[in-house]
Amino acid sequence: MSLKKGGPAFLVIAAGVVLALAVASGNITLPSSAPVSVATASPAASPEPVPTPTAAPAATPAPTPTVQTVRFSASGDNLIHEGLYNQAHARAENGGYDFTAAYADLKEFYGGFDLNWINQETLVNDAYPPSAYPMFSTPAEMAENLYQVGFRAFSLSNNHSYDKGADGISSSLACWDALPEDAVATGFYNLSTYDNYAYLTVNGITFGFLSYTQFTNGIPTPSGSEYGVIYLNQTDVIEKQISDMRPNCDVLVVSCHWGVEDSHDVTEQQRNTAQWLADQGVDLIIGTHPHVTQTAQWLTAADGTDAFVVYSLGNLISAQSKPDNMIGLILDITFQKTTAPDGTTNIQILDPSLHPTVTQYENGYRNIRVMLFQDYTDALGAAHGVFTLSRSYIQDVLNQTVDTSFLAA
């Protein structure tokens, strides 16, 4: 009896085994052309590799210019009469002088600027007691008080610079030199070299300051004084100073004490001098001395660049006795420095405007103070010292004496 194992499949496998043995023993020869296939296990097909995306290299940003700005203010004559230093003495707690209350209404306004400039009309010193017109002497505390209000640049060259002789000059210079390093004063020059230049850098912009006067009330340079003023007719000295300073500053500011007192009219000499200064490379020309407002204008220098001049800012504060002496201007102007990637620089003068101010005092020159015209009222004007000062009168004076396109709203 035979056993059946696996049925047909078993027979096929057995036959295959017999055939393979026969071939191996040489009993069967296969034709050479007969293909021989050997069954092998095929590995699973590997998936095609997916390329990993590579991030495109980040583009190198193009170099961009650096832009820096300084908002700059200039205020007119700080003319310190007897009423001002008497009230400053009464307010001081230590027996000295405290002038800050006279400027308190403007302190916040000045805080909106990067750099504040002022014309100090009277000699500030501690060598002489206080005095007023015609030979002024202002207590030394004035320098520190103006610094506290926010001023950092001071012009000292004017018709009262020689009122107290050589000692007045040296003592005044000592007062200004005692201020912190972020303050500069200009207007008294070393009479041997004329090269004690004043620079101040704010927000990356370097300012140079020069200050000149047309006259000193007939008083000559004090004998034995190492320092003195430069007069506007000393054009050879002025030209050299500008040439010396121009490569070392981005903006050059020149103050000119000129014109006719109590006159709103700009003289031909003022206009010619302003244009000449612009042609020499001055960016901003600030006019002082008339004690009343005069107009402002753009100038085109000989090299085609822009310059700006305000011919008179009038008084910032005083105890004068004419209505127009109470009206002043504060120049508001922005300087923008653009530094290209290659290091070249360009300076633009932007948005000049003039903010009117009013000096207020009551009968007997009490409580002398200065404020913005925008804050002034007819009620204050009705209580003003020896005259009535209405808003409409002030506005008429401004409209008639200043290019209204520059008047701040």
pLDDT in tens, 74-89: 999 999 999 999 999 9
Is the pLDDT assigned to residue 278 strictly greater than 60?
yes
The rounded distance, in Å, linking the Cα atoms of 106 and 119 is: 16
The rounded distance, in Å, linking the Cα atoms of 28 and 20 is: 9
Handedness of CA 13, 14, 20, 23 (dihedral sign): negative
Is the pLDDT assigned to residue 34 strictly greater than 80?
no
Q: Compute CA distances 36 → 27, 30, 31, 273, whole Å.
A: 17, 9, 10, 115
Q: Of 217, 206, 228, 96, which is closest to residue 153 (Cα–Cα)?
A: 206
Handedness of CA 76, 157, 361, 326 (dihedral sign): negative
Euclidean distance between the first and final Cα of the chain, in Å?
129
CB-CB contact of 148 with 105 (8 Å): no
What is the per-residue pLDDT for 50? 64
Domains in the chain, start-ordered, CATH in brackets? 70-323+336-406 (3.60.21.10)
Q: Of 178, 128, 130, 189, which is closest to residue 155 (Cα–Cα)?
A: 189
Is the pLDDT assigned to residue 312 strictly greater than 50?
yes
Strand, helix or coil for residue 154 = strand
pLDDT in tens, 68-121: 999 999 999 999 999 999 999 999 998 999 999 999 999 999 999 999 999 999
Q: Where are the beta strands (DSSP E) in 273-326?
A: 284-288, 296-300, 306-310, 315-317
Mean pLDDT of the chain: 90
Mean pLDDT of 212-234: 97
What is the per-residue pLDDT for 63? 87
| Residue whose pair of structure tokens reads 């490569």 in the numeric block | 247
| Eight-class DSSP state of 357 | E
What is the per-residue pLDDT for 58? 77
Window from 48-52, 181-185, 327-331 with minimum mean pLDDT = 48-52
Strand, helix or coil for residue 35 = coil
Q: Is 159 exposed, middle or buried (0-12, 13-18, 19+ CB in 10 A)?
A: buried
Bridge partners (DSSP) of residue 376 are none
Q: What angle do helix axes 268-280 and 235-245 make, rounded to 10 degrees?
A: 40
Q: Which residue has the higher pLDDT, 87 or 10?
A: 87
355: enclosing H helix or E strand: strand 345-362
| Eight-class DSSP state of 8 | H
